[in-house]
Amino acid sequence: MGKKNKAFVEKITAMEDDFAQWYTDVVKQAELVDYGQVRGTMIIKPYGYAIWENIKDELDRMIKATGHSNVAFPLFIPESLLQKEKDHVEGFAPEVAWVTHGGDEELVEKIAVRPTSEVLFCDYYAKNIHSYRDLPKLYNQWGNVVRWEKTTRPFLRSSEFHWQEGHTAHATDADASQETDRMLEVYADLVEKYLAIPVLRGRKTDKEKFAGAKYTLTIEALMHDGKALQSGTSHHFGSGFAEAFNITYLDENGKSQYVHQTSWGLSTRIMGALIMVHGDNRGLVVPPRIAPTQAMIVPIAQHKEGVLDKAYDLRDQLQSILRVDIDASDKMPGWKFNEYEMKGIPVRIEMGPKDIEKEQVVLVRRDTGEKEFVALNELESRLPALLEEIQQNLYDKALAHRNEKTTVATTMDEFKQTLDEKGGFIKAMWCGDVACEEKIKEETTATSRCIPFEAEKVADTCVCCGKEAKEMVYWAKAY
């Protein structure tokens, strides 16, 4: 048995040795995803999907609580429709999967499998918005989209991915701004409070904004390896799409006006953040609030009389308190310990003959490995508190890691050296010129992640060209 346990653990590469391989190993060993047959597609397995479902349910609740309605728009976009907004089609056309045949017949017009659904919503809004009374339109949909990527990795960049995309239309630019802010805050809330991942909130540079947007807001998270991951975006379109699609309404004075639009999306990519922020060399670590199983009961010496009965009783007793399960299979406890550590289940509850005698159990935290003995009659109060402690600890650790890996650079030498030595976020001033942004990317592979909402001044001049600086930007290598 010792051997078997070892073999199990050995399947995971240490993250210090090869972070990319560690990621792939965790995805596989924690049974999150398998590869589809078509390049870059994912099979999201039961455990991976259960985590995603918990994230989804929470976000869906938040989206509805902010007044949005769910809808389902088609998977297919006629080519001519996709081409209506120039910047948008330029941004997406290179990654579109095209349907050209239905059954044996060649189609008259080829059809895009939606890479995103702006044009479908615009077409609908153009037909269905007439008066200021029709506004705002606050729609959201959960679905799948396809982007024909060259290099793919599970969750992080897949040919097909799952997400929600919100599409809204408003009477004024200010209303659309408010919506763009509101939904970014919803994302930040979800990711910080439920996924226990601290995020930077800010605006993308023009170079990095969404194709067709006036501006893009983003939340950015820092992974364990010091690379950033864009975790959710909220776009203000102004009236750009409205002009291209002729989406107008009559205002209260009977005057025709263009609507002002937004869109915002959060995808299965966030699962990648979850893995790379909290995971360790024993596998995944799932924050309690989104864990499908928050505590796993592992009976010890379960062949002994009464142990299994007591363990099942315990499960029944705890079921109304938290999401609890029991593994009463004939595998050895050590094997079970490894499996549930790999899956990142927040708490393990061990219960053996001695514990039963003493009317106690052993609780083992996944995040710190700490053990504590808890009397059975205190469990119902201790467990929820422990879950909250774990949730908070995960957030605190991630925040400490991000703080430790956030560095000011005032020269390109500092910039490069910091990036080489410790990665992470570089705070550096920027003149606002895209040429400097491109040069930084070329020389360092770091990209601008965001211009934070709370402006900072860490120097007077642009880190790249030395001219007068306009804004402080967070830079990082990114997924």
The residues that touch its own copies, with contacts defined as CB under 8 A, are 34, 36-38, 41-46, 49-50, 52-53, 69-78, 81, 93-104, 110-111, 113, 120, 123-124, 128, 139, 143-144, 146, 148, 159-160, 162
Task: Provide CB contacts within 8 A for 340, sequence distance 6+.
Answer: 296, 298, 327, 348, 366
Nearer to its own copies, 52 or 475 (CB): 52
Query: Residue 261 Cβ, how far from its own copies at the closest point, in Å?
Result: 17
Shortest Cβ 50–its own copies spacing (Å): 7
Nearer to its own copies, 98 or 373 (CB): 98
What is the smallest separation between the CB atom of 177 and its own copies, expressed in angstroms? 24
Q: Give whichever of 99 and 376 is closer to its own copies, judged by the CB atom.
A: 99
What is the SS3 assignment for 77? strand
CA R_g for the chain: 25
Distance CA 175, CA 188 (A): 20
Q: Cα separations (Å) of 49 from 30, 91, 230, 312, 446?
A: 12, 30, 21, 26, 32
51: buried, middle or exposed (CB in 10 Å: 19+, 13-18, 0-12)? buried
DSSP string, 406-445: EEE-SSHHHHHHHHHHH-SEEEEEE-S-HHHHHHHHHHH-
**Closest to its own copies by CB, 21 or 70:** 70
Euclidean distance between CA atoms 322 and 373, whole angstroms: 19
How far is Cα 477 from Cα 301, in angstroms, rounded to an integer? 49
Nearer of residues 84 and 365 to its own copies, judged by Cβ: 84
Nearer to its own copies, 53 or 208 (CB): 53
Instruction: Say how many C-beta atoms besides its own lie within 10 A of residue 408's C-beta.
Output: 17
Helix axes 46-65, 269-278, angle to 10 degrees: 110
Least distance to its own copies, CB of residue 140, Å: 10
Whole-number minimum distance, CB 363 to its own copies, in Å?
27
Q: Which of 64/304 has CB closer to its own copies?
A: 64
CB of 302 to its own copies, least distance (A): 18
Residue 165, classed as helix, strand or coil, is strand
Nearer to its own copies, 53 or 87 (CB): 53
Residue with tokens 């991976």: 48
DSSP 114-130: PSS-HHHHHHHHHHH--
Amino acid, single-letter form, for residue 195: L
* Smaller CB separation from its own copies, 161 or 395: 161
